[in-house]
Amino acid sequence: MALCVINHAVGVTIITRRLGELQAMRFRQWIWVFVRVAWLIVLLHLIEITLWALLYLWQQAMPDLPSAVYFSAVTYTTTGYGDLVLPMDFRLVGAVEALTGILMCAWSTGVFFAVVGQMVHEHD
C-alpha cells in the first residue's frame, strides 16, 4: 500500500507542478491537457495494479503473472468478478488492495478537479 501511495504522490506532484507552468490556452489545447493527465493517471494506476500483482506472485497467492495482474486489476478497481480468489491467508490483503484502489481513484478524481479548476481560472 505504501508503494502505491508513494507512486501516486510522485505522479500527482509531477502533474500538478506542470499545471502551474501552463500559460493561457485555448479550449482545444486544454482538451489535450486532459488527455495527457488522463493517460498519466491511468499509467499510475496500472503501475500500482502491477505492484499488487507482483506481491501476489511473490507470495505464491496467484499461479502466474497474467492471473495475478488480472486479479489485481479487478480487485483494485473493486470490480470483483470472483472468478479468481486468493488463498484464505491472503484474503484480507485483497481487501486492503481494494481500499487502496478506492483511495487512489479518489485522489485521481481530485487531480482532474484541479485541472478543471486551473482551466476555469485561466478563462476568467
The 10s digit of each residue's pLDDT in 25-74 is: 676 777 788 888 899 999 999 999 999 999 999 999 999 999 999 999 99
Long-range contacts of 30-39 (CB under 8 A, 24+ apart): 30/119, 30/122, 33/115, 33/119, 34/112, 34/115, 37/111, 37/112, 37/115, 38/112
Q: Where are the domains of the chain?
A: 2-8+38-119
Overall CATH class of domain 2-8+38-119: mainly alpha
Residue 109 has pLDDT above 60, yes or no: yes
The residue that leads in pLDDT, 76 or 22, is 76
pLDDT at 21: 65
pTM: 0.84
